[in-house]
């Protein structure tokens, strides 16, 4: 589908999954605004059809102001992809409020604020797609990562409710739930699992690789393929769904 004239917003779009989706949307003609906390990271990857804008999704003030500026520059947001996220494991009995709140604030509040501000502009158009990047941990428990899993479950509740709210309108709301994908988050987790469990980084990585049913890390392009489908022709009837990109039921 030609996305010429459409404005897409992808939080966490300077790296990993978000960047790969951003490149696909830009190649198909959309103007893509990518966000993250580090302007220098965004500047490195931005270019034709892609603008980098520093925005901390934990700050309501920042999200409101920055999305308004992006809309002023490039028009209403018709593709909204809340993707910014952090992933860290911690046993519940060791989880303090600061850790819990930061997880919720980034993964869940951030998705809510991004969608809310985007929807205000999408509602005036005749076509829109909201695609939240949740996780397989949003569909089932993840040992040692209750806060992360709870935040990702929350994103799915938000998406399903929005699909119900806007039933019959030309907007769809879906979540993509990946298994372990080869991105900077997995590299960081490798180091932290290795440290916490007192095992080598090789063993820590093998734990994640072997958690995927096909015993390999998923490539970012495989997650992008799902987003391409959801922004392509014929996807209007896919609404309120969680698309697993996991290699099988985990």
Which of residues 21, 181, 204, 226 is near ligand NDP by CB under 6 A? 181
Catalytic residue at 180?
no
Interaction of residue 172 with ligand NDP, rule CB under 6 A: no
Contact between 85 and ligand NDP per CB under 6 A? yes
Q: Does 156 bind ligand NDP (CB under 6 A)?
A: no
Find the binder of ligand NDP among 112, 166, 171, 180 (CB under 6 A).
180
- Tokens (6 digits) for 95: 């989880």
Smaller CB separation from ligand NDP, 171 or 180: 180
CA 89 to CA 212: how far, in whole Å? 18
Q: Is 149 helix (H, G, I), strand (E, B) or coil?
A: helix
Binders of ligand NDP in range 32-61 (CB under 6 A)? 36-38, 41, 56-58
Spatial distance between the Cα atoms of 179 and 22, rounded to a whole number of angstroms? 20
> Cβ of residue 94: shortest distance to ligand NDP, in angstroms?
20
Please say whether the beta carbons of 12 and 18 come within 8 A: yes
Rounded distance between C-alpha atoms, residue 146 and residue 44, angstroms: 34
Phi-psi group of 23: left, alpha or beta (phi > 0 → left; psi -120 to 50 → alpha; rest → beta) = alpha
Q: What is the 3-state secondary structure (H, E, C) of 214-233?
A: CCCCECHHHHHHHHHHHCCC
Q: Which is nearer to ligand NDP, 84 or 156 (CB)?
A: 84
If one asks whether residue 17 binds ligand NDP (CB under 6 A), the answer comes out as yes
Binding site for ligand NDP (CB under 6 A): 11-12, 14-18, 36-38, 41, 56-58, 83-87, 106, 133, 135, 178, 180-181, 183-186
Q: Point out the residues that are catalytic.
A: 148
């Amino acid at each position: 589908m030609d996305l010429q004239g459409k404005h897409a917003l992808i939080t966490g779009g300077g790296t990993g999954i978000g960047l790969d989706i951003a490149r696909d949307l830009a190649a198909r003609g959309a103007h893509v605004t990518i966000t993250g906390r580090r302007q220098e990271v965004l500047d490195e990857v931005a270019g034709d059809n892609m603008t980098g804008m520093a925005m901390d999704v934990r700050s309501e003030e920042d999200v409101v102001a920055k999305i308004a500026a992006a809309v002023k520059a490039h028009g209403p947001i018709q593709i909204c992809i809340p993707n910014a996220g952090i992933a860290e494991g911690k046993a519940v009995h060791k989880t303090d409020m600061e850790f819990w709140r930061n997880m919720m604030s980034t993964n869940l509040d951030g998705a809510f604020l991004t969608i809310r501000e985007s929807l205000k502009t999408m509602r005036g158009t005749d076509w829109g797609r909201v695609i939240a990047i949740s996780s397989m941990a949003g569909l089932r428990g993840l040992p040692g990562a209750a806060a992360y899993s709870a935040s990702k479950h929350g994103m799915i509740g938000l998406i399903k409710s929005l699909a119900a709210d806007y039933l019959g309108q030309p907007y769809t709301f879906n979540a993509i739930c990946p298994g372990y994908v080869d991105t900077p988050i997995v590299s960081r987790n490798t180091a932290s699992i290795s440290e916490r469990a007192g095992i080598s980084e090789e063993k820590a990585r093998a734990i994640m690789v072997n958690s995927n049913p096909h015993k390999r890390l998923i490539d970012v392009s495989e997650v992008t393929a799902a987003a391409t489908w959801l922004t392509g022709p014929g996807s209007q009837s896919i609404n309120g769904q969680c698309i697993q990109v996991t290699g099988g039921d985990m």
